[in-house]
Structure 1
Amino acid sequence: MKPTHCLTHGGALLCALLLAGHAGAAVTAEEAARLQGELTPIGAERGASADGRIPAWDGATVNPPLASNGTPSDPYAGEKPLFTIDAGNYTQYQDQLSPGQIALLKHFPESFRLPVYPTHRSVPVSDAVRDAAARNATHAHLVNNGNGIEDFAGVIAFPLPKDGLEVLWNHITRNRNRSFSVVSDSAAPQKDGAYTVMTTQQYFTRRDAITGLAPDQARNILYYYSHKLTAPSRMVGEVVLVHETLDQVAEPRLSWVYSAGQRRVRRAPSIAYDTAGPTTAGLRTADSRDMFNGAPDRYDWKLVGKKTLYVPYNAYRLASPEVPYDTLIRPGHVNPDATRYELHRVWEVVATLKPGQRHIYSKRHYFIDEDTWAILEADHYDSRGELWRVGEAHGFYHPSGQSVVAAMEVTYDLNNGRYLASGLTGEQRKPFDFSYQASASDYSPGALRSKGLR
């Protein structure tokens, strides 16, 4: 069996937690006390790396001035890359690269590269998130073979994870603003770089932020989500509504679609697992949106341990209104000049398809940021065990939302040479609205028709 690699800043106890099997129970109060000392309030190592390349976490808030569209300006705009990783030198850094990153460097040897900048641990923890994580540490526990959580509240279900499933659930339950809306764009360029922009108005509200919700309605709900397509014109009026359940094996997510052409609302139970959505050009599965979402039941989840990796981080430039999409979207891959990679500690998790289960991905390899619990790198393997698709999440901390938001989520298909870039906001006038408030009726199937009218 491959050994688990443990970074030491907590020593034997951290390794013991990593090596422990799934116990299905919360940690003790003594273990949880580490969140007030050697670890950050949500479970990251507070101290700097031994070589100093990863600084200590101090919880300071990054609060740069806002750009013309309300997006934070890049607080690190004056920094230059420390070095650039490309096809000619990647072997010097391969221990800190994901298999997907190495594959992209080999696939596009003349153009793909990773500009590496100084590391900034720029994501603070609010009092509300700190309190939720502290409570969940001693209360939340997995049920139904790891497919659901009991006694969970707020965000960050397992700040002291014991196995791969708990790390995955931390990504699913990571901190996002309690209720917000965002207008974002996506593009799936052809091999020559030609693309059409698809625009969606999205709404997201956590269960605890919904008004007018009866207790029985909320018992197994994690959050509510809807989006409507507003461009291109041929797709305007399609609306999707999702009631995201915690345990999707016991109760599958509830989803509906309104089609402007048919002028009717219909249930859409197929928005799950490996189906592809209408705005993805067949390049991304339903459960790969947000890097991973939905039920984990079709895979065995193995926690490999922690390591340091060059990952996309502080991607303010990708969201800048001063950088047009034509600059970002290039043939084959995103323009690397607009990207930023930093060295961070990540949790490494491998998901292997269970015998008898069906999915187009036989294996999935994830790297999850210790400071946010967001999946930043995702490698997807086909039925032959060959690397097929590579996902990268480029995000940045938005002080108005007190959370990390997407600048761009990219899925690269190594077989056909195309990619999907979603979450773009730079050309939107006012993309984020963190003042959005919603009631239960706003996320009812009956509300879809009014949202979908042209």
Structure 2
Amino acid sequence: MTKTTSKSLRPALLGMAIAALFASKVALAAATDAEVASLGKTLTPIGAEVAKNADSSIPAWAGGMTQVPAGWKPGKLDPFKDDKPLFSIDASNVDKYADKLSAGQVALIKTYKGYRMDVYPSRRSCPVPDFVAAQTKKNATTAKLGADGWQLEAVQGAGIPFPFPKSGAEAMWNYKLRYTGQGRRAQISALMPDKDGSYVENKQWAYELYPFNDPKVTGPADVGGVESKLLYDVLSPASRAGEGYLIHAYIDKPQDAWIYFPGQRRVRRSPTFAYDNPIAGFDNLYFVDQINMFTGAIDRYDYKLVGKKEMFVPYNTYKLIDKSNKFKDMLGPDYVNRDFIRYEPHRVWVVEATVKGDKRHSFAKRVFHFDEDSWALLQVDMYDAKGNLWRVQEGSLWAAPDVGACITYETQMYDLVARRYVTDNWTAEGEVIDLTAAKEGRVNAATFSPDEMRRRGER
């Protein structure tokens, strides 16, 4: 009886296997001619929907902010300063709006007394430079994932690799290679508030290089397969002053990292400075791969493309970067002062990441929310091994017409278990981020070498 049943199942199992294989091939297939033709027409040049949504709360995309306003500098001008909130979401009405919030956003509202989200009119401010639009069309027909399911192959240069994502891993690469300018530098502060209103300030010089965003790049060989390079020179607190951290991320292998310790006056390679390794000076509240919302290889997770949804997300956060602000006014004991965060309705891509069976990570699951107009990562919900929501990370987004991109830099991370939070990449008081540092030669590939880090540390 058992043998007969087994034989009867074989055709069905074979059919299922063939169907799964076919589905896999479809998911990994290059974009069709019809899809590519839709870019710049019914879809934006990087694949977002041009049309407004059903109730017009999300307007049609009209090209974004392409003209540089008079007096523009990041943190010195708010193009939407006259906008007023449409409504606020708090504990009294959060259930009414829960379908347009992430689980993490709902948890923050329900956990912390007085936490609210002020929702403003939606401004689709993100532009797309012509060369990014042209390169995205090329990438759409060539880019693919490797046999391991996560390495990136056959991408040609600046532009979104997969404007028609068929998998969660493809969406992750769209985020990692989105256009944000060629590189930047800033004096930044990472802040850890205490319940008494004081805060610990970790101040650093931060340098970032994104080789694929150079219009002259035609493929990975031009940049040695590098996705990005990050360098941090620690200025304070005094106990850590002089430390240096260097990260090289790649499109086809896990990242390299080096650390400079001033007491030893030497640079050490640090293979453990990756994934969920805690960053020094943050009381175990902040992991390496939470830098810039997500940094490093994507090889430890399986990624499911859940789909697209309308959601309230941080957008056009010019109030947050206003250089007239003082940290003492921006930081509350439990969360960032709600007057400084602007939320808008936008369409986002949702990706659910689950740790692979043969891998490990402190976050057993992550849920990513990507802005469709820029592929910026604006919200991440992180879960422990028991399935409990553990941490909630929030990004920021503001258009920078001088580089033709939407910038995502400032982040806030809330630990629901420790009941503490950390902010990162807040430009130091009085400082302005330099978005054209790489384009104009103030930052280049030589800046991001271990030898240069050693030289800087020994000055």
Same fold (TM over 0.5): yes
What pairs with 1:375-390 in structure 2 (closer than 5 Å)?
375-390=377-392
* 1:263 aligned onto 2:268: no
Question: Could you tell me whether the CA contact under 8 Å between 2:397 and 2:408 is conserved in 1?
Answer: yes
Question: Could you tell me whether the CA contact under 8 Å between 1:395 and 1:405 is conserved in 2?
Answer: yes
Change in CA separation of 1:200 and 1:401 when aligned onto 2, cut-off 3 Å: farther
Q: Which residue of the partner structure matches residue 16 of structure 1?
A: none
C-alpha deviation, 1:331, in angstroms:
0.6
Counterpart CA distance in 2 for 1:260 and 1:210 is 37
Counterpart CA distance in 2 for 1:429 and 1:202 is 12
C-alpha deviation, 1:218, in angstroms:
3.3
* 1:149 aligned onto 2:152: yes
Counterpart CA distance in 2 for 1:143 and 1:169 is 12
Superposed CA RMSD? 2.1
Question: Could you tell me whether the CA contact under 8 Å between 2:74 and 2:321 is conserved in 1?
Answer: no
* 1:312 aligned onto 2:307: no
Counterpart CA distance in 1 for 2:223 and 2:301 is 27
Counterpart CA distance in 2 for 1:229 and 1:210 is 32
* 1:398 aligned onto 2:403: no
Change in CA separation of 1:440 and 1:91 when aligned onto 2, cut-off 3 Å: closer
Question: Could you tell me whether the CA contact under 8 Å between 2:187 and 2:428 is conserved in 1?
Answer: no
- Taking only the aligned residue pairs, the percentage that are identical comes to 39
Change in CA separation of 1:227 and 1:73 when aligned onto 2, cut-off 3 Å: same
Aligned with 1:430 (options 426, 429, 432)? 432
Equivalent residue of 2:38, what SS? helix
Q: Which residue of the partner structure matches residue 139 of structure 1?
A: 142
Question: Could you tell me whether the CA contact under 8 Å between 1:85 and 1:114 is conserved in 2?
Answer: yes
* 1:204 aligned onto 2:211: no
Paired amino acid for 1:245: Y
Question: Could you tell me whether the CA contact under 8 Å between 1:126 and 1:402 is conserved in 2?
Answer: yes
Aligned with 1:241 (options 242, 246, 258)? 246
Q: Which residue of the partner structure matches residue 11 of structure 1?
A: none
Please list the CA deviations of residues 56-88 of structure 1 after superposition, one character each: whole Å capped at 9, or x if unmatched: 000042534446x75341111111110000001
Question: Could you tell me whether the CA contact under 8 Å between 1:320 and 1:426 is conserved in 2?
Answer: no
Counterpart CA distance in 2 for 1:59 and 1:176 is 16
Counterpart CA distance in 1 for 2:64 and 2:380 is 29
C-alpha deviation, 1:126, in angstroms:
0.7
**Structure 2: gaps spanning 5 or more residues:** 1-22
Equivalent residue of 2:200, what SS? coil
Please list the CA deviations of residues 332-370 of structure 1 after superposition, one character each: whole Å capped at 9, or x if unmatched: 110001110000000111111122321111111111100
Change in CA separation of 1:290 and 1:21 when aligned onto 2, cut-off 3 Å: farther
C-alpha deviation, 1:45, in angstroms:
0.2
Question: Could you tell me whether the CA contact under 8 Å between 2:321 and 2:426 is conserved in 1?
Answer: yes
Q: Which residue of the partner structure matches residue 13 of structure 1?
A: none
Change in CA separation of 1:124 and 1:111 when aligned onto 2, cut-off 3 Å: same
* 1:332 aligned onto 2:334: yes
Aligned with 2:163 (options 159, 164, 171)? 159
Q: Which residue of the partner structure matches residue 189 of structure 2?
A: 185
Change in CA separation of 1:283 and 1:51 when aligned onto 2, cut-off 3 Å: same
Q: Which residue of the partner structure matches residue 303 of structure 2?
A: 301
C-alpha deviation, 1:292, in angstroms:
1.6
Equivalent residue of 2:320, what SS? helix
Please list the CA deviations of residues 125-170 of structure 1 after superposition, one character each: whole Å capped at 9, or x if unmatched: 1112111211111111111322211111223111111111111111
Counterpart CA distance in 2 for 1:407 and 1:373 is 13
C-alpha deviation, 1:175, in angstroms:
1.0
C-alpha deviation, 1:217, in angstroms:
8.1
Question: Could you tell me whether the CA contact under 8 Å between 2:117 and 2:338 is conserved in 1?
Answer: yes
Please list the CA deviations of residues 265-293 of structure 1 after superposition, one character each: whole Å capped at 9, or x if unmatched: 11011111111112433212211222122
Question: Normalized against structure 1, the TM-score is what?
Answer: 0.89
Change in CA separation of 1:340 and 1:70 when aligned onto 2, cut-off 3 Å: closer
* 1:451 aligned onto 2:453: no
Q: Which residue of the partner structure matches residue 289 of structure 1?
A: 291
Paired amino acid for 1:247: D
Q: Which residue of the partner structure matches residue 24 of structure 1?
A: 28
Q: Which residue of the partner structure matches residue 3 of structure 2?
A: none
Counterpart CA distance in 2 for 1:239 and 1:401 is 28
Q: Which residue of the partner structure matches residue 87 of structure 2?
A: 83
Change in CA separation of 1:119 and 1:188 when aligned onto 2, cut-off 3 Å: same
Which protein shows a greater Rg? 2
Where does structure 1 differ by over 6 angstroms across 4 or more consecutive aligned residues?
Answer: 19-22
Counterpart CA distance in 2 for 1:433 and 1:36 is 26
Counterpart CA distance in 2 for 1:150 and 1:392 is 30
Counterpart CA distance in 2 for 1:347 and 1:60 is 19
Question: Could you tell me whether the CA contact under 8 Å between 2:127 and 2:406 is conserved in 1?
Answer: no
Question: Could you tell me whether the CA contact under 8 Å between 2:208 and 2:229 is conserved in 1?
Answer: yes
**Structure 1: gaps spanning 5 or more residues:** 1-18
C-alpha deviation, 1:295, in angstroms:
1.7
Paired amino acid for 1:226: L
How many residues matched? 428
Q: Which residue of the partner structure matches residue 117 of structure 1?
A: 120
Question: Could you tell me whether the CA contact under 8 Å between 1:377 and 1:392 is conserved in 2?
Answer: yes
Equivalent residue of 1:188, what SS? strand
Equivalent residue of 1:154, what SS? coil
* 1:224 aligned onto 2:226: no
